[in-house]
């Protein structure tokens, strides 16, 4: 039996830069979206062992899929990855696999399912605690950059981030960890202050700040266009030199997703397998289910092929 863990605080803050708050639950959601999308694009450098269709299904949106008052009942709302990230976060925080099972009626295979849940929970706690402890205890700052710059950071092309010298960045020091777009963690190697963006571009390696940009004038135009409102209250410009750290939280999450595989992920979504269930099939969006009820009745039409069984939502016990 796996013991309960202490409830984790939903926010991470650093005593040095107290104005900066990082909501860890949001990081988990962004990390999951990043892992699934990278797997689809073939850029993850980690084999999840999941089909592209399954990953795409988890990311799929359904405009009519509004949350019900009891979000743990019935067909889970799209996009499913948000429901999945919430279940993962609750499992990490409270040390129980998908808490909704406590009030679900399970009959056939209950003993086998509990054994699987304990195995899945141990995996989530081991890898998840590693991931959350890194985000919760060591990060000092969260920064957001455009997708183009984000991919340059991931690929190791960009190693200097420009920020206007605001008060909240005054105490940044080498050795501190920062996270970009709630996904990629970097260590600060140096922080250098300049009077202006032009001085920074003239002194630093231009390709480290803006990979692919060929001239200082071009770089000046790009950077002046970004965050113009901060320039008025800034006291100069900072060149934050960064280097990637080997232990990335998205790698820990990818390992969890891979080892949970189809059945474990479906279990976190509140779904259960029945005889004939196709392993990598997800339930249809609510809009598709609603549409099926309003189709015209045509008694002359019959099914020629049996439809594959999909995982079913567990029914709450009374």
Instruction: Mark whether 25 and 127 lie in a shared domain.
Output: yes
Q: What pLDDT band is residue 25 in, cutting at 50, 70 and 90?
A: confident
Is 149's pLDDT higher than 70? yes
Cβ atoms of residues 93 and 215 within 8 Å? no
Report yes or no on 5 lying in a domain: no
Domain count, the chain: 2
Report yes or no on 299 lying in a domain: no
Is 241's pLDDT higher than 70? yes
Instruction: Mark whether 70 and 210 lie in a shared domain.
Output: no
Instruction: Mark whether 264 and 201 lie in a shared domain.
Output: no
> According to the 3-state scheme, what is the secondary structure of 47-62?
CCCCCHHHHHHHHCCC
pLDDT value at residue 272: 74
What percent of the chain has pLDDT above 70?
A: 72
Instruction: Mark whether 254 and 121 lie in a shared domain.
Output: yes
Instruction: Mark whether 176 and 268 lie in a shared domain.
Output: no
Instruction: Mark whether 228 and 258 lie in a shared domain.
Output: no
The secondary structure of residue 103, as a DSSP letter, is: G
pTM greater than the 0.85 cutoff: no
Least confident range from 25-29, 63-67, 232-236: namely 63-67
Higher pLDDT, 100 or 56: 56
pLDDT value at residue 11: 47
Q: E strands within the chain?
A: 11-13, 21-23, 139-143, 160-164, 177-180, 184-194, 237-244, 271-272, 312-313
Instruction: Mark whether 178 and 80 lie in a shared domain.
Output: no
pLDDT value at residue 218: 96
pLDDT value at residue 311: 60
% helix, strand, coil for the chain, step of 5: 45, 15, 40
State the number of CA atoms in the 13 A half-sphere of 269 facing the CB.
28
Range of the domain at 159: 143-246
pLDDT value at residue 285: 77
Report yes or no on 294 lying in a domain: no
């Amino acid at each position: 039996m796996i013991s309960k863990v202490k409830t984790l605080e939903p926010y991470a803050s650093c005593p040095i830069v107290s104005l900066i708050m990082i909501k860890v639950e949001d990081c988990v959601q962004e990390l999951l979206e990043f892992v699934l999308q990278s797997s689809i694009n073939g850029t993850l450098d980690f084999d999840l062992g999941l089909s592209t269709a399954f990953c795409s299904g988890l990311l799929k949106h359904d405009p009519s899929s509004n949350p019900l008052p009891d979000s743990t009942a019935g067909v889970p709302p799209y996009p499913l990855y948000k429901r999945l990230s919430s279940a993962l976060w609750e499992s990490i925080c409270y040390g129980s696999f998908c808490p909704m099972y406590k009030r679900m009626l399970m009959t056939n295979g209950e003993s086998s399912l509990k054994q699987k849940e304990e195995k899945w929970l141990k995996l989530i706690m081991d890898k998840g605690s590693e991931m959350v402890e890194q985000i919760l205890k060591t990060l000092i700052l969260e920064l957001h950059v455009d997708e183009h710059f984000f991919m340059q950071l991931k690929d190791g092309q960009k190693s200097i981030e420009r920020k206007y010298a605001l008060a909240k960045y005054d105490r940044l020091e080498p050795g501190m960890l920062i996270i970009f777009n709630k996904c990629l963690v970097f260590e600060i190697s140096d922080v250098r202050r300049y009077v202006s963006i032009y001085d920074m571009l003239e002194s630093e390696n231009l390709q480290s700040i803006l990979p692919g940009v060929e001239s200082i004038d071009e770089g000046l135009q790009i950077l002046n266009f970004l965050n113009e409102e901060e320039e008025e209250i800034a006291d100069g410009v900072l060149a934050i030199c960064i280097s990637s750290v080997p232990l990335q939280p998205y790698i820990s999450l990818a390992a969890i997703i891979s080892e949970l595989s189809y059945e474990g992920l479906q279990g976190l979504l509140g779904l259960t397998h029945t005889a004939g269930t196709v392993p990598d099939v997800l339930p249809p969006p609510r809009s598709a289910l609603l549409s099926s009820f309003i189709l015209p009745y045509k008694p002359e039409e019959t099914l020629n092929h049996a439809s594959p069984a999909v995982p079913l939502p567990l029914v709450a016990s009374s």
